[in-house]
Structure 1
Amino acid sequence: MSDVRSEKTEVTLRSKTMHLDFAGSGEVERDGNAVRLTGLRLVAELPDAGGPEDGGTVVLEQAGDSAQVGGEVAVPLAAVVEQPGASVRLRTLEDVRWTAGAGGDLEPADDEVGFVLVEAPESTVLTVRGLALRTGSS
């Protein structure tokens, strides 16, 4: 497994926008032009301004196998937002897509990724913008 990070990633949780530093692990495998992503798990700390919905963590986790779609790798992602007194599980409606950059880095093919409640897919709870994945050996 390699260390994976996405720094200064713009995130909107409910209606509050912030920049978070995600860190975690995953493996980017290349075979010619094909790219495969496995075991992706990223965690970021939410800022704590002292309010009832402040603080906690956001976990982004691969929820299935990656697929090669043209020059992009597509991955189903899930999210868990844990805050004082509550834990919310979210999913994307479509796979998240990246293009292969230098080394094992992946650049976002989508400007933003929306996460919804499974039981209420019409309402986006979490939006992540510019989720670039930077890799390094662990």
Structure 2
Amino acid sequence: MTKQLFKALGAVGLVAALVALSVPAGAADMRAKIPFSFKVNGKTLPAGVYTFSTSQTSLLVRGYGDGAIALTNRLESRTDNQAKAIFHKYGDSYVLRQVWTGAGAGRDIPERRRAERELASFERVAIPLP
């Protein structure tokens, strides 16, 4: 009985955390059709239409029936004002690395050290976000 109660409380806590992250204060959601499967924070998401939401410390990527959350670092640029998603391509795999919201603001997803060692070279791919 106690185990079931802790499981239920854990599930409620997780849902509450996801709801709080899905509506970041002062940030606009951006949608884009991503034509290939890609990884976010180690999770593989299929090709499709995704909504990108940013907060001060995280990025929420939501698709139809699937999504991922990643902790991020803030980026700024005086010259880059276009909203876009930046992917690194490792062979046939794509990894989401940055999301730019326009007006020179963006979020960077730090690469995992293990992934960096395993995948020595990459190609940068940018997908415009409307």
TM-score (norm 1): 0.35
Larger Rg: 2
Higher percent of residues as helix: 2
Higher percent of residues as strand: 1
TM-score (norm 2): 0.36
